[in-house]
Structure 1
Amino acid sequence: MNVNKSLLPLVNPLSKDNPVIVQVLGICSALAVTAKLEPALVMTISVTAVLALANVIISLLRNTIPTSIRIIVQLVVVAALVVIVDQVLKAWNYEVSKALSVFIGLIITNCIIMGRLEAFAMTNRPWASFLDGIGNGLGYGIILVIIAFFRELLGSGTLFGCQVIPQWLYDHGYQNNGMMILPPMALITAACIIWVHRARNKDLQE
């Protein structure tokens, strides 16, 4: 599929250069917040917003930031954005904010965010950096949502907290797989996604 070159920063992270299943970054979030779909979706929105805005800000400042303190400046920008996101989330949905607990704060040290700031925003214009932030945030989020979908469905029989597996199945002996809501199953599910993705993309095979 031919894609306009200017849109590559947005499109590539969705599959070809996905930060989670290709670059193997952000795996900690997949283990921590994917037992349910709602926290995974909120984390996706939060990381995408922080990454896109941080990319733009760093891109605008890239020619004025001394090389010796660039990492400190990047951390300060990300930390400020995370505080804003955390406060908005607490005001908008306090229960989800409690469920995510410290993981919103840990966005500050998310290797995807720091990696994109250093590798892309520091050397590219604001619009391209914005697209790169959106693309990598959504690429990260797609994997989180897929993992959360299977973990919640098979582990709890629900999606977004609503029961989707019919009661008659339970009446006939069906039981939820309790292992699916344990952190190791997030890693195993992610491994399955990586396997399928690489099987379909021969150029990624070593």
Structure 2
Amino acid sequence: MMSLWKEFSKGLWQDLPPFKLVLGLCPVLAVTKTAYNGLGMGLAVIFVLTLSNMLVSLLRTLIPAKVRIACFIVVAASLVVCVELLMQAYAYPLYQQLGIFVPLIVVNCIILGRAEAFASKNTVLLSMADGLGMGIGFTLSLTFLGSIRELFGYGSWFGMDIMGAWYEPFTFMVEAPGAFVCLGLVLAGMNALTNWQRKTRGLDAIEGPIHDCKTCGMCATKPGA
């Protein structure tokens, strides 16, 4: 149980995909004009990531190493088709808002990265815990960023008027440059908090995002990591 919790919880903070691993930034920047869009995209990613991890883990001994990436893409693509059909049937306005970024989940770095780095090497339960935790962390990140942009850009949150008639919307926040600025501020805040936590543990401060997944080889090159 402790191992399951460890794999699940790492995606909620320690290896938070957009802010700690800095992965999947394309949908993070593109679909977070509102909190609703961020939540919708995040739920779609949870579905695909959890089930793709499960299927890759189930098939890991059957998939030849030379074609594993192609097989991972086929698994993800099949699940994305399911998501598209479900969204078209039950959440068509959201599907229209998200547009091309729903089918692009197939090549999301998080989906392929977790399949290659974790699911292809671990058991089904651990892989599902990893996928669910990463998916929830990704969803919370998109919803948080979307909430900030919607609140300042429209004066609302999930479509509800929050600021009132007196508020003059800061439309820059819902434009493309606003997405980059907002993401940069959040990353700066996360890095500052990470360094503060490291200092309280007697570790050296570092520059840039930090994580401990050890799947990309970057950790060993960072001083104090």
Q: Same fold (TM over 0.5)?
A: yes
Task: Give the AA of the match of 2:192.
Answer: A
Aligned to 1:134: 132
Give the 5 Å matches for 1:1-206: 4-167=2-165, 169=166, 174-202=167-195, 203=198, 205-206=206-207
CA deviations 1:146-197 (Å, max 9, x no partner) are 1100111110111122211122x2xxxx310010101222222122222222
**Do the aligned residues in 1 keep the contact of 2:173 with 2:182 (CA within 8 Å)?**
no
Matched-pair contact (CA < 8 Å) for 1:19–1:136: yes
Q: Deviations over 1:80-118 (max 9, x none)?
A: 000000000010011111111110000000001100000
Gaps of 5+ in 2: 199-204, 208-225
Identify which range, 190-199 or 93-102, moves more after superposition: 190-199
* Equivalent-residue separation in structure 2 for 1:156 and 1:27 (angstroms): 22
C-alpha deviation, 1:6, in angstroms = 2.9
Aligned residue for 2:168, secondary structure, equals: coil
Judge conservation of contact 1:13–1:136 (CA < 8 Å) in 2: yes
C-alpha distance in structure 1 between counterparts of 2:3 and 2:189, whole Å? 27
User: Which structure 1 residue ranges, 4+ long, deviate > 4 Å from structure 2?
Assistant: none
Q: Judge conservation of contact 1:31–1:184 (CA < 8 Å) in 2.
A: no
Q: Which residue identity lines up with residue 111 of structure 2 in the other structure?
A: I
Structure 1 residues not aligned, in runs of 5+: none
Q: 2:219 corresponds to which residue?
A: none
Of all paired residues, the percent bearing the same amino acid is: 35
Q: Please tell me whether the aligned partners of residues 4 and 125 of structure 2 are also in contact (alpha carbons under 8 angstroms).
A: no
TM-score, reference length from structure 1:
0.93
Q: CA deviation at 1:57?
A: 0.2
The answer as to whether partners of 1:152 and 1:181 remain within 8 angstroms in 2 is yes
Aligned residues: 199
Distance 1:18 1:180 in 2: 23
Contact 1:55 1:130 in 2 (8 A): yes
Return the alpha-carbon distance in structure 2 between the equivalents of residues 192 and 12 of structure 1.
23
The alignment yields a C-alpha RMSD, in angstroms, of 1.4
